[in-house]
Structure formats: structure tokens, C-alpha cells
Amino acid sequence: MVVQRSGKSKSQFVRQRTLFAPELPSHAEVCGPDVPCDIAPIEKRRDGGTRYWCRAHRADATEKGGKPAKKCCAADKIPLREDEIKILELDKYCGGVALWGAVPAVYDTTRRPMDSGIHIHARPESGSKKELDFTFRAVRLMGKKLPVDGIIVNETDAIYYMVSSVFGYSMSFVSCTHCSWPHLDKDWFSVNPHRRHLCAGCGKHFHDRVRGIGNPIIGVRDACGAADHKVSPAPKNFEIKQSDYPGGLQIWGSNPAFLWTQPKDEEEGIHVHAFLTDDQEDPTVDDTFSEVIIDGVELDPHMVRVLMAQNVLPSLKGRVRSMDCPHCGQPGFDAGEAAFVPGPTHICPECGRQFPTVGRTRNVVVNPLPKILDDLARSAPRPPQQHQLDLLPETL
């Protein structure tokens, strides 16, 4: 999205609250692999070395030992194309719009391509059929309350909004005190409130007045006049056999929409797509349910939601495992901070006793769902797809 300069602050602790401006480039205008890196020293590190920053791709370019890299970490990243940005006229859809961060399904036995980005629902009139039900890499929001050129929200903003929300963290609009670039906290920082941030615009560190988690979407919500909306348990249950849907299943945990203007409450639970054939365009089942039972196995909505967020975090790649408590035999399920900070020991939610990680990788996060899904895969029409977003890890 785009922000406006408000003059240089005398103090590094003053939060910039402006949102829009023509003189700062948007996230959609980052250079691609066809543009060579422009690497320059940006500031000193805590260990006395130098940090290097690529001004072309706006990414870190520091090798181990504080030396400049040959290319930055984003040099090979493909930027957004204009046709990947959906223009959404908010005032056109009087029946309401809803936007979510879309990530890969936790269980996918279809052969459909990975779905990620920003998922949109839009209705022309209240109670009418959805005119839009698609996923895009970015959305340009247009409306009477917004600038003439609108505001761009990209997929990374939306995905990390989902992660922070699932783990129960509120976010705020934070901008760099050096360049006014709107700040997005990614990976580990999206679930750990902090004051010291690394700007993705100019590459410099800055301090906010309070500890928090930055996400530009909060500024978008404020600009659109979006109010908090109610989230209620889905009213329906769903019980099936995988053999009834040979085209495959896709399963997600629900997560709160970052923009919701519909008059009804948002439904919470497990979202299911079920296909009768491989070649059908729309799923036979496309709904959210409070209770989902597949082949006699009931899925826990909270476990599904948490695993969906855990699968996104680069810092948890290869570190989410299923383990039973050796004391009582019940499945372990890490909660609170332990759900996103890998550790060598875990607290059983059933008996309350501590047990250690078993295996070569000692620091892990425990969630029962991977084993449950592996068991379901044995009776699936085909092996589940293993999707990876491959988001870059974030460091200070």
C-alpha cells in the first residue's frame, strides 16, 4: 500500500500515522530478477559489523561475517504483475465484501493448484449470490473514502494478518520513522510484540513508541471505516466418507476476515471443499462447518486453525510434530507461546505433566493433527498434496 511523508521526526520514537502518498512506491512496484541488485551499506550491526541492503529489491544483502552478498535475498523473487492485482470497487457491492488471507489447505487430496493470496467474496445486494469468489495475489481497493488510485493490499500482508489473528495477537499500523514506509512484521515477529523494527522500505532499524506487531492492513481497515465484526460458530455439521468424493477434499481452518462489510456474522469452524470428479470447476461442497467428521474421525477446528498458521511460518518449517504424552498416552498439543516457539519439552493438556521431545530434532512444536491427517490419507483416493508457500524467514 502507499503512504505519505509527514516530515522528518525529531525523535525516533514518534509513530508515523499517515497512510497515503504518490511519492512513495507501492509494494507492487518492487523490481524483479531482470533488474540487478543495488547493494549498499546501510547501518552497523550489534556485533560491530555492517549490514548491507539492496535498494533495487528492498531486501537484505548481508552475508555471514558482515560482508556484502553477491545478490540480495529477494533478487530472484517475481514481483506482482498488474493483471494479478484485482481492482475491487467497495461501493459497488452493497451486499458486502469479505477479504481473507488465503493459504494452502492443511489437507488436500485434489489435484488442483495451490491456493494462496487474498480470497474475496463480494455480493451486489444483501442476500444475493456471490459475484466474486476468487483468490488474487493482491487487491486494489477503490471507494469514496479512499484515494483516487485506491490502496493496494498484497498477499503477504493478508497472510501474516491471518497468522497473528489465529494466535490471538492484535496488530497496529506502524510506519518507519526514517522513510514512512508502512511496516509488516513477518514470521517470528508476527507473533511476538516488539518495539525495534527493521524497515522493508529503506532497510534501517527504527523504534516504535510501544511494543506491538505491525501490519499495514490495520491502516487499510481504518481508511475504509471498517468496524470489528462478530464471528459466530457455523450452524451446520458435516460427516462424509472420502470414497464419496473421488475428486478429493480440501480442508482449511476458518480465520477472521481482515475486511468484512456484510450484514451477517462471519462463520467460524472448518471450511471444506469436496469434489465428485477431478475436472469439475466448482466444488460440490463449499461451506464452513462447526463439526467435521471424515471416515469416522472428528477434526478439531482449533487444531486445524493452528496447524494452518503453523504451516505458514518459515521459522517452524519441519518443526511441527505429533507426539503422545508418555505419562497418560494422550496426544500432546502445545498452547500459548509454545504453539509457535519450538522447545525441547512440552506440557500435556490432559494430565498436566511435562514430557521431552523424542527424536533427533529436539526443539519442536506439538500438534496432534499431522498424525490424524496421515491416518486419513491411508483411505484417501490419492496421496494428499504437500503445499509449501516458501515465505522467506525474517531476521533482525
92 closest CA partner among 136, 128, 119: 128
Farthest-apart Cα atoms in the chain, separation: 66
DSSP string, 256-285: --SEE--SSPEEESEEEEEESSSS-SS-SE
Supply the pLDDT for residue 29.
55
Run of H or E residues at 373: helix 369-377
Supply the pLDDT for residue 127.
85
Nearest-angstrom CA–CA distance, 311 and 103: 9
Supply the pLDDT for residue 30.
64
**Does residue 237 form part of some domain?**
no
What is the mean pLDDT of each successive set of 10 residues along the chain, which is 396 residues long? Answer: 35 38 46 91 88 92 90 89 91 95 96 93 92 94 91 94 96 94 96 95 94 96 90 96 97 95 94 96 96 97 97 96 97 97 97 95 97 97 91 76
Nearest-angstrom CA–CA distance, 53 and 286: 45
Helical pair 369-377 and 301-312, crossing angle rounded to 10 deg: 100
Place of cell 455480493: 123
**Does residue 111 form part of some domain?**
no
Q: Are 79 and 32 in contact (CB under 8 A)?
A: yes
**Integer CA distances (angstroms), 169 to 55, 164, 255, 300, in order:** 31, 5, 13, 21
**Does residue 55 form part of some domain?**
yes
233 closest CA partner among 172, 285, 289: 289
**Does residue 223 form part of some domain?**
no
Nearest-angstrom CA–CA distance, 124 and 262: 11
Supply the pLDDT for residue 1.
35
**Does residue 294 form part of some domain?**
no
Q: What angle do CA 136, 384, 321 make, to 5 degrees?
A: 95
pTM, full prediction: 0.90
**Does residue 60 form part of some domain?**
yes
Handedness of CA 229, 284, 296, 324 (dihedral sign): negative
Q: Are 387 and 373 in contact (CB under 8 A)?
A: no
Query: Domain total for the chain?
Result: 1
Supply the pLDDT for residue 396.
58
**Grid coordinates of 78:** 517475481
Domain extent at residue 39: 31-68
